[in-house]
Amino acid sequence: MRTRPRTTRPGPSATSRDPAPLLLRLVERHSRRATSRGARLVATSAGFAISALLAALDFATGPALSFDAFYVLVVATFTVMAGARVGFGVAAFTAVAWTASDALLAELRLGVWGSAWNVLGRLAALAMVALLVATLLRAVEAERAAAHQSGEFLAMAAHQLRTPVAALRASVEAVVHAPAGEAQGEALANAMSESARLGRLVSALLRVARLDQGELPRTEEVALEPLVAAEVARMRSLSRLRFSVDVHDGVPATVHVDATATADALANLLDNARRHAVARVAVEVFVTGEHVAVAVEDDGPGLPAGAEERAFERFVTLARSGGSGLGLPIARTLARQQGGDLVYEAKRFLLLIPGHPRQARGGHSRGPRT
């Protein structure tokens, strides 16, 4: 029987170990505050005012003092404080104010075209400064988000590993203290079961880590029907459930995919179905649009209403069936990396694989095979 989703508490924030320099952390925090308070208009007005003040000082002091660096500093500061949009606005106004000051100092000898050229050149330079600063801030934010995600992943992984490790330790202690006989055999069986569960979890964690590092699929022409048949046969050997395979007419003989990734995705779906099925698991292969769909359906209760997408989140388990909460997220990621997808509809999972209709095999559907 399915229960409400179980979630784990997120680990400690990675902010305290943030590799970003202290100055960048401070200015970015102020940037978020200004944006959240709707202060862009105020920041823009302040930038215009400061630029106008600099232009006035530049004109008043004449050529004796240079304020060029301060114009650049104003643009960079307001980009940090309020974002790229405000930075570009301040850059445009600053370019005009800067050029106006120079034109007045030169007693308008530059002419219209000369002033226009100076405005455009300075606008381009200041806009580039704003763009570089905004890009730097986005990079810092991405680094912070990645560090925070890594911290949460490690905390959740530790939480998931703790349960089978504790159960394995308890089983081993029972073997040590139990008298020889039936009780010891039962404890050994429990230890074997928990060690297998621990191995599956570690394998899943390693696969997630490789996917997060950007592991790319190695695609090739793969015979789809034998691949499906092999995974179903392997799962049938691990269970007493009744498995059936139905390959429809028009299914390509081969598909261009990563054979290992596709087999792993299908294995995760079949394992999920095996743990929730009552007596039967049905696999159906057919063409839908530009994809080949491998549908996996079991006669269990199915996902609870409203949990169709939540089931694909990491470490989310919707039933007490011994799952790690990683199988479905891994399967979806593997499918999407190859240009496909994994969805849940009509009480079954659909693994969508890019197909090649030109290679479709003829004949009629062979019907279910058990």
Mean pLDDT rounded to a whole number for the chain: 75
Task: Give the list of residues 6+ apart from residue 27 with CB closer than 8 angstroms, or none.
Answer: 80, 81
Check residues 210 and 296 and name the one with the higher pLDDT.
Answer: 296
* Residue 179 structure tokens: 């008298």
User: Residue 70 and residue 75: Cα distance in Å, rounded?
Assistant: 9
Q: 118: closest CA among 68, 76, 70?
A: 68
pLDDT tens for residues 156-179? 666 556 656 766 777 677 766 766
**H or E stretch covering 143:** helix 111-177
pLDDT tens for residues 181-235? 666 677 677 677 667 666 666 776 777 777 777 777 788 999 999 999 999 998 8
* Residue 367 structure tokens: 């019907």
User: Residue 311 and residue 5: Cα distance in Å, rounded?
Assistant: 9
Task: Give the list of residues 6+ apart from residue 216 with CB closer than 8 angstroms, or none.
Answer: 337
User: Residue 95 and residue 79: Cα distance in Å, rounded?
Assistant: 15
- Helix then strand count (H, E) for the chain reads 9, 9
* Residue 200 structure tokens: 């599956």
Grade residue 369 by pLDDT with cuts at 50, 70 and 90: low
Q: CB of 303 within 8 A of CB of 344?
A: yes
Check residues 158 and 248 and name the one with the higher pLDDT.
Answer: 248
* Residue 139 structure tokens: 């990079």
Check residues 175 and 14 and name the one with the higher pLDDT.
Answer: 175
Q: Is the dihedral of CA 329, 331, 334, 337 positive or negative?
A: negative
pLDDT tens for residues 272-291? 888 889 999 999 999 998 89
> For residue 89, how many other CB atoms are within 10 A of its CB?
19
pLDDT tens for residues 30-62? 444 455 556 678 888 888 888 888 888 878 777
Q: What secondary structure does DSSP assign to 238-260, as a single string?
A: T--SEEEEEEPTT-BSEEEE-HH
356: left (phi over 0), alpha (psi -120 to 50) or beta: beta
Distance from the Cα of residue 141 to its chain's centroid: 15
User: Residue 303 and residue 214: Cα distance in Å, rounded?
Assistant: 30
Give the pLDDT score at 349: 94
Least confident of 151-155, 163-167, 365-369: 365-369
Check residues 230 and 71 and name the one with the higher pLDDT.
Answer: 230
Q: 255: closest CA among 102, 181, 142, 360?
A: 360
306: left (phi over 0), alpha (psi -120 to 50) or beta: left
pTM of the full structure: 0.53
Name the CATH topology of 220-359: Heat Shock Protein 90 (3.30.565)
For the chain, the first-to-last Cα distance in angstroms comes to 26
Where along the chain do its domains lie? 1-215, 220-359
* Residue 360 structure tokens: 């479709």
Distance from the Cα of residue 77 to its chain's centroid: 32
> For residue 54, how many other CB atoms are within 10 A of its CB?
20
User: Residue 361 and residue 247: Cα distance in Å, rounded?
Assistant: 10
Give the pLDDT score at 97: 83
